[in-house]
Amino acid sequence: MKQVSKLIGAILILVIQQSLFAQHANSVTISEIMFRPSESNSEFIELYNLSSTDSVDLKNWKIKYHTSNADLFDSTFTNKKLPPHKYAVIFEGDYDLINGIYSPILSDSALLIKIDNNSFGSSGMSNSSDRMIYLIDSNDIVIDSIKYTADNPSGISDEKIFLEGTNDESNWGNSTALNGTPGFKNSISPFDFDARVDSVTINPSSPFAFEGINAFVCITNAGLNPIDSIFVSCYDDVNVNNYFYDDTLLYHSLIEHLDTNKTEIVKLSFTFKLSGNKNIKVFITSGKDENNLNDTTKLSFFVRPKPNSEKDIVINEIMYLPEGDEPEWIELYNTTNDSINLKDWKFKDRTSHTIVSPDSLFIAPKDYLVISSDSIAPFYSYEFNYFIKNIPSLNNSGDEIVLLDSLGKTIDSLSYSDDWGNKKGYSLERKDVNGETNSKNNWANSIALEGATPGKYNSISPLDYDLHLIEFTTSQKYGTENSDFITTCTIRNRGLLNASNSELQIYCDYNHDSTFAFDELIYDYPIPSLASNEEIELTQFLNNLPLGQYRLKAHIQFANDQFPENNDAFLNINIVKIEFNPGDLLINEIMYAPVSPEPEWFEIYNSANNEININRFL
């Protein structure tokens, strides 16, 4: 009885083991077939263990191709246990596992096995005919079989979509990855978590610079599970090199939750300041996303130059009657808050026209640009932006200047005549950039000391704070020793606001070096507060001036003054020594009707107590 019991127990254990083995073996499925590789000796068949708990021993398993004899797994590969939810890749016997084409992409977790000969079947798998493939276990039981469809280009494998599904033709398709996906998830299989960028479009499709652009990004949850927190970022691929930095980020957004098989359109808004060809790239990121191959998309488009409006650029100052070797020039002013490209803009007058620049030439917001046929820098004491370009000749008797943008649209035009301010060596300045260009009242000759203000605020334009020293005069032909020398300063507040806390200072150039140093200050007096356009006349009594000829400088010291060029005036004086007083010499007698031959004469009487030398008297 004991022997019978032992026999029955052994049989029962064997049955249980075979049952368990059969159950585990059936968890292995053919998941990918590379029958048309891009290189020779590189065919493979991929297997996948569907079990989540048990490994499967592939020892003595075989692959049978079509009607050929089965190919046994190479016995030299001692480890043939396929772990749960892992892949095994079966190669031809002559495939180079070290240097073969799949070496860069093979997963480290994949089980790699070769068959015991150099080709599947008698001469390899067919590239042109559909064929059956059988997976056979060590007991010669067919575990899985599939008929592949031979319609693939070179390097594209057949992949199973749902690994737990059947081998119907509808559950197989061509790989989307060159050289397939040996040892890792199939390219056409859905991921548990897979956010996908489907497309990006923009509106307007052909935007202008500085115009608002809306990019609409279509994002789909292609995975089997919902995804939370999908970050969407749009970058400007400035150098078209796929390198992106924080300063090239155009916009970013967040999708908080996206259900399976649902699509959401995300709007990203941005602008481009510069025109030209643009390349944007959209990225999505999510902590659970298992497929990074579909996380990006890009779009190329052209941004047109911003359409210009009238008076975006104005003709602000012209030098049509220069003195000496100074060339004629035109000053432009950008009235907008944006940089404007003057590429392909034009000047024209009544007889000719010229292109400002065939290349990009930007004028910054609220900035000036002087255009001349030659350098004008040597004629002024400060630096400014200028561009050398032939301009139409500006007639002294009057002319027309028209500024056109790259589309031929008139942006500003000036028609002047010689009665507007025909003063040689002085420019014609615009008073108000927002005023009418062709109004004579909006133009006048410059009052700047250098005769013009190229590249800076015009001397005749109103400012918030601008005290102007109009005149510095005297009624005396000369001054005398130990007597007051009387001068008068006329000051006007040309600013738009009240001017207070200013001083009038007068210097005497004692050493004749024209520097007017601090120790040459002879007069300092506060100027009363002046309202806008108010004018005042101040009289100065200057005493203790030494004998001789000197140059005086009157100066307005005003910290808030925005145009200090009109704060100075100069006066030449002569201080002499008087040797007698008025009344010391008297005309005492005259002979105006003498009898010939007596001449006419007059008599002078010295009423003083001292001798007077009249040798130099007239």
- Residues 29, 50: contact at Cβ < 8 Å? yes
Question: Which residues lie closer than 8 Å to 317 by C-beta, 6 or more apart?
Answer: 330, 331, 427, 428, 429, 430, 446, 452, 453, 454, 458
Does a structural domain hold residue 433?
Answer: yes
- Considering the domain architecture, whether residues 324 and 436 belong to the same structural domain is answered as yes
Host domain of residue 251 = 195-303
| Residue at 427 is within a domain | yes
More confident residue, 23 or 602: 602
* pLDDT given at position 616: 62
Q: Are residues 298 and 323 in the same domain?
A: no
Within 10 angstroms of residue 469's Cβ, the number of other Cβ atoms is 17
In a domain, 14, yes or no: no
Burial 526-555 (b: 16+ CB within 10 A, else e): ebeebeeeeeeeeebebeebeeeebebbbb
Instruction: Among 253, 268, 303, give the residue marking a domain's end.
Output: 303
Residue 121 has pLDDT above 80, yes or no: yes
> Could you tell me if residue 50 is inside a domain?
yes
With a cut of 50, say whether residue 566 has pLDDT above it: yes
Is 602 in the same domain as 542?
no
pLDDT at 140: 95
Q: Is residue 454 part of a domain?
A: no
Q: What local confidence, expressed as pLDDT, does residue 4 receive?
A: 35
* pLDDT value of position 352: 84
- One domain, residues 278 and 222: yes
Residue-wise pLDDT tens digits, 332-358: 999 999 889 999 999 998 888 899 999
Cβ-contact 514, 490 below 8 angstroms: no
- The answer on pLDDT for 207 being more than 70 is yes
Is 164 found in the same domain as 113?
yes
**Count of structural domains, the chain:** 5
> For position 116, which CATH number holds?
2.60.40.1260
| 333 within 8 A of 461, measured Cβ to Cβ | no
Residues 388-410: tens digit of each pLDDT: 998 999 999 999 999 999 989 99
Handedness of CA 42, 43, 45, 46 (dihedral sign): positive
**Contact of 540 with 489, CB cutoff 8 Å:** yes
Strand partners, 243: none
Residues 80 and 208 in one domain: no
* Cβ pair 573, 545 in contact under 8 A: yes
pLDDT at position 244 is 66
Domain membership flag for residue 73: yes
Whether pLDDT at 597 is above 60: yes
Is residue 315 pLDDT above 70, yes or no? yes
pLDDT bin (cut points 50, 70, 90) of residue 20 is: very low
Residue 119 CB-density burial (10 A; 0-12 exposed, 13-18 middle, 19+ buried): middle
Of 303, 336, 359, which residue sits at a domain end? 303
Contacts of 387 (CB under 8 A, 6+ apart): 356, 357, 361, 369, 370, 371, 372
If we measure between CA atoms, which residue out of 521, 569, 574, 572 comes closest to residue 551? Answer: 572
What is the token pair recorded at 558?
């005003």
Residue type at 267 in one-letter notation: K
- Residues 451 and 351: beta-carbon distance below 8 Å: no
Res 382: pLDDT:
92
Q: Which residue did the predictor score with more confidence, 97 or 482?
A: 97
Mean pLDDT for the stretch of residues 414-429: 94
- d(CA 515, CA 510) in angstroms, rounded, equals 10
Q: Name which of 297, 293, 305 is nearest 279 in CA terms.
A: 297
Select from 114, 140, 174 the last residue of a domain.
174
For residue 396, is it within any domain?
yes
Report pLDDT digits (tens) over 250-259: 999 999 999 9
Residues 167 and 252 placed together within one structural domain of the fold: no
pLDDT at 13 over 50: no
Q: Of 176, 195, 210, nearest to 282 (Cα)?
A: 195
Any idea what the CATH number is for the domain that residue 558 is in? 2.60.40.10
Q: Strand, coil or helix: what is 11?
A: helix
In a domain, 550, yes or no: yes
Confidence of residue 580 (pLDDT cuts 50, 70, 90): confident
In the predicted structure, residue 578 carries a pLDDT above the cut 80: no
Return the exposure string of 580-600: e unless at least 16 CB atoms fall within 10 Å of the residue's CB, then b.
eeeeebeeeeeeeeeeeeeee
Three-state helix/strand/coil letters over 598-616: CCCEEEEEECCCCCCCCCC
DSSP state of 83: -
Same domain, yes or no, for 35 and 158? yes
Residues 141 and 35 in one domain: yes
Q: Are residues 46 and 94 in the same domain?
A: yes
Residue 466 pLDDT > 60: yes
**Are 140 and 43 within one domain?**
yes
Strand order in the sheet with 353-355: 353-355, 346-348, 398-404, 410-417
Say if CB 31 and CB 104 are below 8 A apart. Answer: no
Q: Averaged over 447-451, what is the pLDDT?
A: 90
Provide, rounded to the nearest whole percent, the portion of the chain with pLDDT above 70.
95
What pLDDT does 8 receive?
A: 39
Characterize 76-107 residue by residue with b for buried, 16 or more Cβ atoms within 10 angstroms of its Cβ, and e for exposed. Answer: ebeebebeeebbbbbbbeebeeeebbbeeebe
Are residues 410 and 277 located together in one domain of the fold?
no
Query: Of 359, 372, 389, whose CA–CA distance to 317 is shortest?
Result: 372
494-512 pLDDT tens trace: 999 999 999 999 999 999 9
In 3D, which of 324, 317, 314 has the Cα closest to residue 452? Answer: 317
What DSSP state is assigned to residue 2?
H
In the chain, the amino acid numbered 327 is: P
pLDDT at position 86, please? Answer: 96
Chain segment 231-247, per-residue pLDDT in tens: 999 999 887 776 666 77
pLDDT of residue 449: 86
Structure confidence by residue, pLDDT tens digits, 515-542: 999 999 999 999 999 999 999 999 999 9
